[in-house]
C-alpha cells in the first residue's frame, strides 16, 4: 500500500487520503497518526472502496507520521462500526472512537510504579502505620489504591516508603491478568439447567453465529448456566464479553465469577482509572483478557479472538445510550456476534417484547428455565389497594405492609422496599406563597436530598444548599416537602421500627465499588433489616434472608411519556419481586397501587406473564409500534427557544410524504428545557417496509440551520423525554 484512505477520528472531517512512507508496514485496520494542517490526527486505515472520498492526486498526498503499536482493528469490528453508524445515523468517526476509547493504550506498553511492604519494620510505629502494615500484607498497588485498601492517607504511606518499610516495584502495563480456570468450582446443574447449558456449550463449539434468548424466572440459575458456556470458551482459548446493564452490578458479578472460576474477570467501564482502562484495553486487544465484563461501552472493544457474547438482564433500558451515538447495546451485541460469527446469549427473566418476538419468529433460539433452583419457589404476590388501605397522613407504607415488615423483624428476616425515586422528596414548595423550587436549566423540579442537605436537579446536576426560607416571599419555616423519595421512606421505617437497621440503596449511597461491596456484605450477613432502594436493587442480588418485598408505588412507572411504560413497569416490579424468597424461606410481595385493575398490576398479581405479553403485543401491533413498526425521533435543540422552534418547524415542513411513514410534531419535548437548551421533537412512525434511515438522511441532509442549533436522530427511541 503506498496510498491509504483513513477514517479519521474526528466527526467533523470526512475520509482523508495519505501516502505511506517507505518501509511503513500497514494493514486495513491499522491505527495511525496523520498530519492535518499544523496538527496531527489519529485515524484507522480503511478499505478505500467502502469509504467514498474525494480523489486527491498522488503527488499532493502528505505522508503518514506513524503506525501506533496496537493490533489493527479487525475486519469484523470494522464492519460493525460501519453497520452501527449506518443504522443509527451516526458519524463513523464517533462510532470508531468507541473502539479506540483508551488514548493512553494506543501509545503502547510502559511501566507504572507500584508499592508493597518490604519486611522492614519502621522504628516509629503509630496507630495508623500499624493499621496500614496489617492491611497491606501481601498487597501491591499504586499509592492511591493502597491508601484506599488501608484506609489511611497517602501521606502515611509516603512516610512508610521514607523509612523503607515499603518499596517501589516497576510494573508493566501489559502484565497479564491472573488466569481463570474453567474447572475451578463447577456446580452440579439440575436436569433443566444441564440441557440448556449443553446447548450453549454446543454453540460455543460450533463457533458460528447463534443468537439465544435465555428466558428463566428470577433465581432459576441463568448465571450458573451461562457460566458453563463461558467455561467452554475458556477451554478453547477464546475470549468472552459479558455486558451488564449497570456498573453497580459488576461488583456482585465479580464475586460470583471468582468463586466459580478462581480469578476475577477483566472489568471495563467508563468510571475506571486510566491505568486500569489502559491495561484492560491492551489485554483485550492482545488476547490476554479471557473474560471481559462491562457496561455497554465494552461492546466496541477490539477483541483479538472473541468466541462468545453474553448480555445479562438483556431487557434493561440502560443498554440504550441516549447521548453521543444513540445506540442500543443489546441490539448491537447481536450484530457483533453476527459479524464475528459467534454465539450470543440474551439472558432475562422478563425479556423485551422485541426479543420474544424474534424468538417467536425463529430468529433467536429460546431456552427456558421455568423454575427456581433447588427448593426455592416463586414468591406469593398480593395487591394492596391504596384506596382502601390508606396509610396515615404524611406516610406511604400501608398497614398490610407494616404488618408484614413487623413479622419479618420478629423472625430476623429482611424486607426490601422499592421506590424508584432518589432523594427525600421530589418537590419542595412554599406553603405561604406557593413557590416551587425549579431547576433554572431544565423543566424539572429540584429534588430534596436530606442526607446531603441540598436540592438537586436529576437531569443537569444543578444544586443548591437546602434553603431555610422561601426565596420568593422571604418567609421562614414555610417550606413543605411533597411526595416521597427513598430517604423519606427510610425515615418512615425508622419511625415505625426504631430498632430496625435500615439501609438506603441508590446511586447516591452505592456510588463506588467499595460502598457496594460493604452494602452486599452487610445485607448477606443480616446486618441490615430493611433495604429501601431504587431500581438499582431490583436485579442481580441474592440475599437468602430477604423474604418480603414491598412496592411502595406501582403506579409511578406508568406515568410519563414512555412508549414502553407498561412493559417497563412490569419488568421492574417482576424483577424486584424476584428478590424475595430466593433460598429456603418462602417469599412474599406486596404491591401498593391505586389501580389494581390495570393490566400490568393484575398480570403481576396473578403471575400470568403470558397474558400480559399477549395484551401488550396486541396493543403494539395496533399502534404500529415496535416490533411491528418502527419509531424514530428527531430532536432539535438550541439555547434560544425561538431558534429551536423555527428549526423544528422547518424540519416538519420538509417532511417527506410517504405512505409507509407518518410524522408527528414538531412539539416541545416533555423535558422542553434540558441543561439550558430548549428542545423540540418530531416522532416518526414507519412501517417495517420503509427505508427509515435513508429517508431521514435525505430529509435532513439538504437543510441548513443556525450554528447554535443541534439536530439529533434517535432510532428506536426508548425515552420520550
Ligand atoms: N446448579 C446449581 N448449583 C448450586 N447453586 C445454584 C445452582 N443453580 C443456581 N444456584 C444458586 O441459586 C441462586 C440463583 O441462581 P442465579 O443467580 O444463577 O439465577 P438467575 O436466574 O441468574 O437469577 P436472577 O435473574 O434473579 O438474578 C444463586 O445463589 C446460585 O448460586
Ligand atoms: Zn437541571
Atom 1 of ligand 1, nearest CA residue? 189
**Which residue's CA is the closest to the ligand 1 atom numbered 23?**
219
CA of 228 to the centre of ligand 1 (A): 13
pLDDT at 560 over 70: no
Question: DSSP secondary structure string, 387-445?
Answer: TTSPPPTT----HHHHHHHHHHHHHT-EEEEE----SSBSEEEETTT--B-B-SSSSSB
What are residue 159's phi and psi, to 5 degrees? -60, -40
Most confident of 72-81, 448-457, 511-520: 72-81
Determine the distance separating the centroid of ligand 2 and the alpha carbon of 436, expressed in angstroms. 14
Model confidence at 252, pLDDT cuts 50, 70, 90, reads confident
User: Which backbone phi and psi does 71 adopt, to 5 degrees?
Assistant: -60, 150
Q: Tell me the pLDDT band of 369, cut-offs 50, 70 and 90.
A: very high
Return the C-alpha cell found at 69: 503499536
Pairing of strands 343-348, 306-312: parallel
CA distances from 335 to 211, 329, 358 (A): 10, 10, 14
Q: Domain 3-76 adopts which CATH fold?
A: GIY-YIG endonuclease (3.40.1440)
CB atoms within 10 A of CB 561: 11
Query: pTM for the complete prediction?
Result: 0.89
| The pLDDT value given to residue 561 | 59
**What distance in angstroms lies between residue 64's CA and the mean position of ligand 1's atoms?**
53
Closest to 86 (Cα-Cα) out of 721, 608, 715, 589: 715
Whether residue 619 is predicted with pLDDT greater than 90 in this model: the reply is: no
User: Phi and psi at residue 250, in whole multiples of 5°?
Assistant: -65, -35
Non-local CB neighbours of 332 within 8 Å, separated by 6+ positions: 80, 84, 299
71 C-alpha to center of ligand 1: Å? 38
With cell 416490579, the residue in question is: 573
- The predicted model gives 416-445 an average pLDDT of 91
Cell numbers at residue 477, please? 419555616
The predicted model gives 238-253 an average pLDDT of 90
pLDDT class of 665 with cuts at 50, 70, 90: confident
Q: Is the pLDDT of residue 583 over 90?
A: no
State if residue 216 touches ligand 1 by the CB under 6 angstroms criterion. yes
Mutational test site, ligand 1, from 198, 223, 314, 573, max ligand atoms within 8 Å of CB: 223
Which pLDDT score is estimated for 337? Answer: 98
Average pLDDT over residues 347-376: 92
Q: Is the ipTM of this complex over 0.95?
A: yes
Atom of ligand 1 nearest to the CA of 218: 26
User: How far is 548 from 154, CA to CA, in rounded Å?
Assistant: 43
Grid cell 417550606 in the structure block, residue: 479
Mutation to probe ligand 1, out of 250, 368, 542 (largest number of atoms < 8 A from CB): 542
350 lines ligand 1 (CB under 6 A): no
For residue 358, report the distance from its CA to the centre of ligand 1, in Å.
26
* Nearest protein CA to atom 16 of ligand 1, as residue: 221
Q: How far apart are CA 176 and CA 391, in angstroms?
A: 57
> Which value, in Å, is the radius of gyration of the alpha carbons in the chain?
28
Neighbours of 306 (CB within 10 A): 25
| Atom 25 of ligand 1, residue of closest alpha carbon | 218
Ligand nearest to the CA of 188: 1
pLDDT of res. 260: 96
Determine the Cα–Cα distance for residues 352 and 349; give it in Å rounded to an integer.
10
CB atoms < 10 A from the CB of 312, how many? 22
In order of 440, 466, 468, 483, the CA distances from 454 in angstroms are 15, 4, 11, 16
Scan for cell 425479556, then name that residue.
351
Q: Is 553 in the pocket of ligand 1 (CB under 6 A)?
A: no
Q: Which CATH architecture has domain 629-715?
A: 2-Layer Sandwich (3.30)
470 is in an annotated binding site: yes
pLDDT digits (tens, 9 = 90+) for 117-172: 998 888 888 888 888 888 888 888 888 888 888 888 899 999 999 989 999 998 88
646-652, Cβ contacts within 8 angstroms, sequence gap of 24 or more:
647/680, 647/705, 647/706, 647/709, 647/711, 648/680, 648/681, 648/682, 650/703, 650/705, 651/682, 651/699, 651/700, 651/703, 651/711, 652/682
* Nearest ligand by distance to the CA of 190: 1
| 583 Cβ neighbours under 8 A, 6+ residues apart | 374, 376, 544, 545
| Ligand 1 site, residue 626, Cβ cutoff 6 A | no
Q: Would the CB of 220 count as within 6 Å of ligand 1? A: yes
Statement: residue 659 has pLDDT above 70: yes
Which pLDDT tens digit goes with each residue over 26-68?
A: 999 999 999 998 999 999 999 999 998 777 887 889 999 999 9
Strand order in the sheet with 365-369: 266-268, 291-294, 239-243, 306-312, 343-348, 210-216, 365-369
629 within ligand 1 shell (Cβ under 6 A): no
Ligand 2 center from residue 454 Cα (angstroms) = 14
**CA 427 to centroid of ligand 2, rounded, Å:** 13
Q: From CA 448, how far away is CA 216, in angstroms rounded?
A: 39
Q: What is the pLDDT of residues 218-235, one digit of tens each?
A: 889 999 999 999 999 999
**Residue 162: CB partners within 8 Å, gap ≥ 6?**
none
Query: How far is Cα 179 from Cα 67, in angstroms, rounded to an integer?
Result: 31
Confidence of residue 720 (pLDDT cuts 50, 70, 90): low
Residue 271 has a pLDDT of: 77
Average pLDDT estimate for 680-686: 92
DSSP 3-state assignment of 191?
helix
User: What distance lies between CA 651 and its chain's CA centroid?
Assistant: 32
Return the pLDDT at 391: 94
> Quick one: pLDDT at residue 534?
93
For residue 348, give the ligand nearest its CA. 1
CA dihedral sign of residues 348, 350, 354, 358: positive
Burial of 285 (0-12, 13-18, 19+ CB in 10 A): buried
Identify the CA nearest to 173 among candidates 133, 122, 114: 114
Looking from the CA of residue 220, the nearest atom of ligand 1 is: 21
Q: Which ligand is nearest to the CA of 455?
A: 2
Q: Is 373 in the pocket of ligand 1 (CB under 6 A)?
A: yes
494 phi/psi in degrees, rounded to 5: -65, -35
Q: CA-based angle 671:673:678, to the nearest 5?
A: 120
The conformation of residue 318, written as its DSSP 8-state character, comes to G
- What pLDDT does 510 receive? 87
Between the CA of 668 and the centroid of ligand 2 the distance, in Å, is 17
- Helix axis angle for 565-577 and 609-623, nearest 10°, is 160
Q: Is 163 annotated as a binding residue?
A: no
If one residue of 185, 190, 198, 221 were mutated to test the ligand 1 pocket, choosing by the most ligand atoms within 8 A of its CB, it would be 221
Share of the chain above pLDDT 90, in %: 60
**Closest ligand 1 atom to Cα of 256:** 31
**Helix segments in 376-430, DSSP class H:** 399-411
Check residue 1 and give its pLDDT: 59
d(CA 305, CA 492): 53
Mention the CATH class of domain 191-369.
alpha beta
| Cis check: omega of the bond before 627, within 30 degrees of 0 | yes
pLDDT at 375 over 90: no
Q: What is the mean pLDDT of residues 167-196?
A: 92
How far apart (Å, rounded) are the C-alpha atoms in residues 338 and 83? 11
Is the CB–ligand 1 distance for residue 218 below 6 Å?
yes
CB 72 within 8 A of CB 6: no
| Closest ligand, as measured to the CA of 674 | 2
Beta bridge mates, 191 = none
Ligand 1 proximity of 371 Cβ (cutoff 6 Å): no
SS3 283: helix
Q: Rounded to the nearest whole angstrom, what is the distance from the C-alpha of residue 306 to the centroid of ligand 1?
A: 26
Work out the average pLDDT over 560-576.
Answer: 83
- Residue 439 assigned as binding residue: yes
Which positions ≥6 away from 100 have C-beta within 8 Å?
9, 31, 42, 44, 73, 106, 302
> How high is the pLDDT of residue 632?
93
Cβ 255 under 6 angstroms from ligand 1: no
- Cα of 156 from ligand 2 centre, angstroms: 40
Provide the greatest CA pair distance for the chain. Answer: 85
| Residues contacting residue 370 through CB under 8 Å, at least 6 positions apart | 192, 216, 217, 220
Domain covering 380-421+484-617, topology: Rossmann fold (3.40.50)
Which is nearest to 553 in space by CA: 537, 539, 572, 540? 572
460 is in an annotated binding site: yes
Does the Cβ of 30 fall within 6 Å of ligand 1? no
* Percent of the chain surpassing pLDDT 70: 99
pLDDT band at 484 (very low <50, low <70, confident <90, very high): very high
**Kind of pairing between the strands at 588-593 and 380-385:** parallel
Q: What's the rounded Cα separation, in Å, for the pair 40 and 52?
A: 22
The average pLDDT across 581-587 equals: 87
Q: What is the pLDDT of residue 721?
A: 64
The pLDDT score that the predictor gives to residue 103 is 80
Question: How far, in Å, is the centroid of ligand 1 from the Cα of 371?
Answer: 11
Query: Whole-angstrom Cα distance, residue 586 to residue 654?
Result: 60
Mean pLDDT for the stretch of residues 627-647: 93
Kindly state if the Cβ of 224 falls inside 6 Å of ligand 1.
yes
pLDDT of 606 above 70:
yes
Highest mean pLDDT among 275-279, 286-290, 440-444, 606-610: 286-290
Question: Which residues sit opposite 366 in a β-bridge?
Answer: 213
Q: Answer yes or no: is the C-beta of 219 below 6 A from any ligand 1 atom.
A: yes
CA–centroid distance, 511 to ligand 2, in Å, is 20
Relative to the CA of 578, which ligand 1 atom is closest?
Answer: 26
pLDDT given at position 287: 94
d(CA 572, CA 554): 10
Output the CA 12–ligand 2 centroid distance in Å.
29
Strands 414-418 and 530-533: what pairing?
A: parallel
What does the CA dihedral 386, 390, 391, 396 come to, rounded to 10 degrees? Answer: 20
Q: What is the mean pLDDT of the chain?
A: 91
Amino acid at each position: 500500500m503506498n496510498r491509504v484512505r483513513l477514517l479519521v477520528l474526528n466527526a467533523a472531517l470526512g475520509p482523508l487520503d495519505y501516502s505511506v512512507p517507505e518501509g511503513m508496514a500497514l494493514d486495513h485496520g491499522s491505527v495511525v497518526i496523520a498530519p492535518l494542517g499544523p496538527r496531527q490526527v489519529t485515524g484507522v486505515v480503511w478499505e478505500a472502496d467502502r469509504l467514498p472520498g474525494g480523489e486527491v492526486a498522488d503527488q499532493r498526498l502528505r505522508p503518514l507520521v506513524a503506525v501506533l503499536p496496537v493490533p489493527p482493528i479487525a475486519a469484523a469490528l470494522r464492519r460493525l462500526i460501519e453497520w452501527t453508524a449506518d443504522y443509527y445515523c451516526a458519524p463513523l468517526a464517533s462510532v470508531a472512537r468507541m473502539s479506540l476509547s483508551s488514548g493512553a493504550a494506543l501509545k503502547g506498553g510502559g511501566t507504572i510504579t507500584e508499592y508493597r511492604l518490604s519486611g522492614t519494620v519502621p522504628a516509629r510505629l503509630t496507630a495508623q502505620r500499624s493499621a496500614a502494615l496489617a492491611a497491606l500484607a501481601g498487597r501491591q498497588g499504586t499509592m492511591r489504591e493502597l491508601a484506599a485498601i488501608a484506609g489511611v492517607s497517602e501521606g502515611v504511606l509516603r512516610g512508610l516508603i521514607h523509612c523503607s518499610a515499603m518499596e517501589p516495584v516497576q510494573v508493566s502495563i501489559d502484565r497479564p491478568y491472573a488466569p481463570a480456570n474453567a474447572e475451578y468450582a463447577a456446580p452440579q446443574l439440575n436436569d433443566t439447567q444441564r440441557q440448556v447449558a449443553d446447548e450453549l456449550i454446543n454453540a460455543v463449539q460450533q463457533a458460528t453465529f447463534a443468537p439465544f434468548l435465555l428466558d428463566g424466572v428470577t433465581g432459576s440459575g441463568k448465571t450458573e448456566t451461562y457460566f458453563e458456556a463461558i467455561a467452554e470458551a475458556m477451554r478453547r482459548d477464546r475470549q468472552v464479553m459479558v455486558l451488564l446493564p449497570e456498573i453497580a452490578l459488576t461488583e456482585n458479578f465479580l464475586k460470583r465469577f471468582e468463586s466459580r472460576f478462581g480469578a476475577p474477570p477483566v472489568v471495563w467501564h467508563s468510571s475506571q482509572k486510566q491505568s486500569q482502562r489502559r491495561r484492560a484495553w491492551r489485554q483485550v486487544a492482545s488476547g490476554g483478557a479471557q473474560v471481559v465484563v462491562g457496561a455497554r461501552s465494552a461492546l466496541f472493544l477490539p477483541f483479538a479472538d472473541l468466541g462468545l457474547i453474553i448480555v445479562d438482564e438483556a431487557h434493561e433500558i440502560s443498554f440504550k445510550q441516549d447521548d453521543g451515538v444513540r445506540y442500543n447495546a443489546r441490539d448491537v451485541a447481536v450484530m457483533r456476534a453476527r459479524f464475528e460469527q459467534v454465539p450470543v446469549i440474551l439472558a432475562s427473566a422478563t425479556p423485551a417484547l422485541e426479543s420474544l418476538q424474534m424468538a417467536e419468529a425463529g430468529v433467536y433460539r429460546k431456552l427456558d428455565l421455568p423454575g427456581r433452583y433447588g427448593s426455592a419457589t416463586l414468591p406469593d404476590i398480593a395487591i394492596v389497594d391504596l384506596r382502601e388501605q390508606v396509610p396515615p397522613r404524611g406516610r406511604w407504607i400501608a398497614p398490610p405492609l407494616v404488618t408484614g415488615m413487623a413479622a419479618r423483624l420478629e423472625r430476623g428476616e429482611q424486607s426490601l422496599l422499592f421506590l424508584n425515586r432518589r432523594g427525600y422528596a421530589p418537590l419542595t414548595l412554599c406553603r405561604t406563597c406557593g413557590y416551587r423550587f425549579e431547576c433554572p436549566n431544565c423543566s424539572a423540579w429540584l429534588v430534596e436530598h436530606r442526607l446531603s442537605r441540598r436540592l438537586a436537579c436529576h437531569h443537569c446536576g444543578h444544586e443548591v444548599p437546602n434553603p431555610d426560607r422561601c426565596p420568593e416571599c422571604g418567609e421562614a419555616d414555610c417550606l413543605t416537602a411533597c411526595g416521597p423519595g427513598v430517604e423519606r421512606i427510610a425515615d418512615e421505617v425508622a419511625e415505625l421500627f426504631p430498632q430496625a437497621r435500615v439501609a438506603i440503596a441508590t446511586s447516591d449511597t452505592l456510588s463506588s465499588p467499595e460502598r457496594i461491596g460493604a452494602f452486599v456484605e452487610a445485607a448477606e450477613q443480616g446486618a441490615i433489616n430493611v433495604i429501601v432502594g431504587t431500581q438499582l436493587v431490583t436485579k442481580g442480588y441474592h440475599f437468602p434472608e430477604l423474604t418480603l418485598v414491598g412496592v411502595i408505588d406501582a403506579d409511578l412507572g406508568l406515568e410519563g411519556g414512555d412508549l414502553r411504560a407498561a412493559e417497563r413497569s412490569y419488568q421492574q416490579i417482576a424483577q424486584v419481586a424476584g428478590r424475595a424468597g430466593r433460598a429456603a424461606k418462602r417469599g412474599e410481595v406486596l404491591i401498593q397501587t391505586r389501580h389494581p385493575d390495570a393490566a400490568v398490576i393484575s398480570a403481576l398479581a396473578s403471575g400470568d406473564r403470558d397474558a400480559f405479553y399477549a395484551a401488550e403485543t396486541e396493543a403494539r401491533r395496533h399502534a404500529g409500534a415496535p416490533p411491528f413498526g418502527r419509531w424514530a425521533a428527531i430532536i432539535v435543540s438550541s439555547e434560544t427557544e425561538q431558534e429551536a422552534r423555527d428549526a423544528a418547524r422547518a424540519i416538519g415542513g420538509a417532511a417527506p410524504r410517504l405512505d409507509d411513514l407518518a410524522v408527528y410534531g414538531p412539539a416541545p419535548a416533555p423535558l422542553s428545557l434540558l441543561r439550558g437548551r430548549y428542545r423540540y421533537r418530531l416522532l416518526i412512525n414507519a412501517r417495517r417496509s420503509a427505508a427509515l434511515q435513508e429517508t431521514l438522511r435525505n430529509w435532513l441532509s439538504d437543510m441548513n440551520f443556525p450554528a447554535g442549533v443541534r439536530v439529533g436522530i434517535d432510532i428506536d427511541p426508548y425515552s420520550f423525554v
